[in-house]
Amino acid sequence: MSGIQTTSNSKALEATAMPFKKTRAWLFSSLALSITAYGVWIMFDILNSNGMTPLEYALLALFTVTFAWIVTAFCSGCMGFILQLFRIDPLTLKRQKPIEINQHALSQTKTAIVMPIYNEDTERVIAGFEVSLRSLAKTGQMPHYDFYLLSDTQDPEIARNELKAWNALTKRLGDLAAHTFYRRREDNKHRKVGNLTDFCERWGSQYDHMIVLDADSIMTGQCMLELTSSMISNPKSGLIQTIPIPVRQDTFFGRFLQFASILYSPMLATGSAFWQTNQANYWGHNAIIRVEAFTKCCGLPVLKGNAPFGGEILSHDFVEASLLHRSGWDVLLLSDVEGSYEEVPSNILDYAIRDRRWVQGNIQHLGLLPKSGLKLMSKMHFLFGATAYISSLIWLSMLALSTLDAVTRALNSDVYFNHAYQLFPTWQIAKTDLIDSLLFITAVLLLLPKLMGIIVTLVHRNKAFGGTMKLIAGSLIETVFAIVIAPLMMVFHSYFVVCVFLGKKVSWDAQPREGRMVPWKEAIGYTLFSTITAIIWGSVAYYYTPTFFWWLSPILVGLILAAPIVRYSSSIGLGVKMRKMGLFLCPSEVENDDTLAALRVHQQEIGLPKDEHADFSVPALPNEYPTVMPIQSFKAPSGKKRKQVRLAQQRIKAKLFAKS
């Protein structure tokens, strides 16, 4: 394997280097449960003022789930804010220091960079693949890395494009082409899971680690070296996840999304890393994985039963992390590693369609909660992932029930004697102070993490966002737009959740990533039902209870104006204008990252070769060293398997010190 001296600058994150590891999750849980309990008590007091009806008990139950979800994100944000403000590493709780790249250690390892693809835009895939490879080559460490483009493409035309683009790429690379390989599976059995399994079983045993990239991923060479060094420094680590930062967006919505992500995601991830410690999650890409651990522990079974809980495991990443956890391997989240990029959908509709796939995969995880072999933290990841989408249906249900409750109260507002032979009238009590307090608390929980993210950025890197005034202006626009589109996303996610529970399947195809202006016909087609429903909903509320209507109006406005919001937020012209005004600027643009700059040049100057000069020859593959990736069960691992993992970790650690 490899060796590295564990100096104070390296990410040596052994258990002894993570103080209070066992108490952090309990600290987080206690804080979140306390705030949740307080909010639920206020809500109960409000609803109970005139006696609880079955409708109000249902409202209380729905409120409890949604409020707990908000509190969870708030607590992670608070912890991340403190740690980022004072530059404290969330794992070691020491001052953050750069990751030390140990040249000798790297020379003792072999790492594969693998990019699974399926019916993707060939030109974009090759461009990202090449600029990432050349960025690593600049570091001088290319002899210790190989790059694999693992195609599952089934479209014949795209497959032909891949072949000719690959052959043109290898000619451009020259000697570097010796470290690149292209493999296409004719039968894409088990999709991405099967794609990576095929790599591990044919060539995985020749590598210590693999860095998994998505089709839209870009990663700098420095980031790859830092990930490899971090993996070498931690013999118990099975997977290390980075934060993929969205880049290269031109539409208003795309720029809004990438601005919000870089502004808030690192802080939230830092807070999550603090309480999850060595049991973080995996997001499927832009991460480094120890091949031996992955091969022995992460062979995924086909679940018994039908959808939504049976069949092939769709969101495989969460499950793979859980299998590593239960086998004794650490999964770490490094929130301060830079140079890990991805691309996101450029408009609301494409973004929602991508979420539709994730909804189905995350809800499937609920069926794994009863499995006794998985650790509690893994089950929390499953639960949080599903709740992220189910909470939208709960919010929508709660709003509908609240409207029904308000209308019912309005119709009965003049009824003071509810029972026969009632001696004294029943006076309606409205606890206005408690209602205002609960609204204020909810607003704080939702908006304070945004303010904290802005403060951290102002303190440490406001110039990377165009300066203080541009940062604040962009943050205000982002907050307002997030509030405006929230009702529409709530409706989309609610519909998706219902479809999943009804057993409706969704195709997991390549997603569009280039900017496009959504046509009016498409925008109206996807939003017309929501708009009509909102008009009827608002009319009923205004007729029977005008006061409640005004509280409901922000949600109704977002739904009634859904079509123009979808249409104009997809405008490339508006997004470019915002950039020229210095709004929604991101560090990757202000600091002009070399790898992203190379990608722009690549796409402008290098395209697919002309057919008459194209080379369609199938490239050679390296020698195979077959191994088996055993299918796992979700029962608790045997003592024998736990012993095997401990021995593997001890063997890695022994080689570490022997070669350091």
Looking at the chain, the whole-number percentage of residues with pLDDT higher than 70 is 89
- Give tens-digit pLDDT for 577-592: 999 999 999 998 998 8
Report DSSP state, residue 417.
-
Contacts of 34 (CB under 8 A, 6+ apart): none
Q: Model confidence at 144, in pLDDT bands (50, 70, 90)?
A: very high
pLDDT score for 6 = 36
| pLDDT value at 54 more than 90 | no
Give dist(CA 165, CA 148) in Å, integer: 14
For the entire predicted model, the pTM comes to 0.90
pLDDT greater at residue 507 or residue 384: 384
| pLDDT value at 365 more than 50 | yes
Domains, the chain, with CATH or none: 107-411+469-517+570-660 (3.90.550.10)
pLDDT score for 293 = 96
Q: Model confidence at 640, in pLDDT bands (50, 70, 90)?
A: low
* CA proximity to 283, closest of 220, 331, 235, 232: 331
Q: Where are the beta strands (DSSP E) in 521-643?
A: none
One-letter amino acid identity for 325?
H
Report DSSP state, residue 419.
S
Residue showing tokens 């020859």? 617
pLDDT score for 609 = 76
| pLDDT value at 429 more than 70 | no
| pLDDT value at 180 more than 70 | yes
Q: Is 431 helix (H, G, I), strand (E, B) or coil?
A: coil
Antiparallel, parallel or unpaired: β 180-184 and 111-117: unpaired
- Give tens-digit pLDDT for 534-575: 999 999 999 988 888 988 999 999 999 999 999 999 999 999
Report DSSP state, residue 612.
G
**Ordered alpha helix ranges (H), 48-102:** 54-85
Q: Model confidence at 292, in pLDDT bands (50, 70, 90)?
A: very high
Give dist(CA 581, CA 259) in Å, integer: 14
| pLDDT value at 197 more than 90 | yes
Query: What phi, psi does 517 have (nearest 5°)?
Result: -85, 120
- Give tens-digit pLDDT for 24-36: 999 999 999 999 9
3-state secondary structure labels for all residues of 237-280:
EEEEECCCEECCCCCHHHHHHHHHHHHHHHHHHHHHHHHHCCEC
Section 293-317 average pLDDT: 91
| 489 burial level (CB within 10 Å; 0-12, 13-18, 19+) | middle
pLDDT score for 5 = 35
pLDDT score for 432 = 63
pLDDT score for 423 = 40
Return the ∠ at Cα 162 (arms to 181 and 361), rounded to 5°.
85
| pLDDT value at 50 more than 70 | no
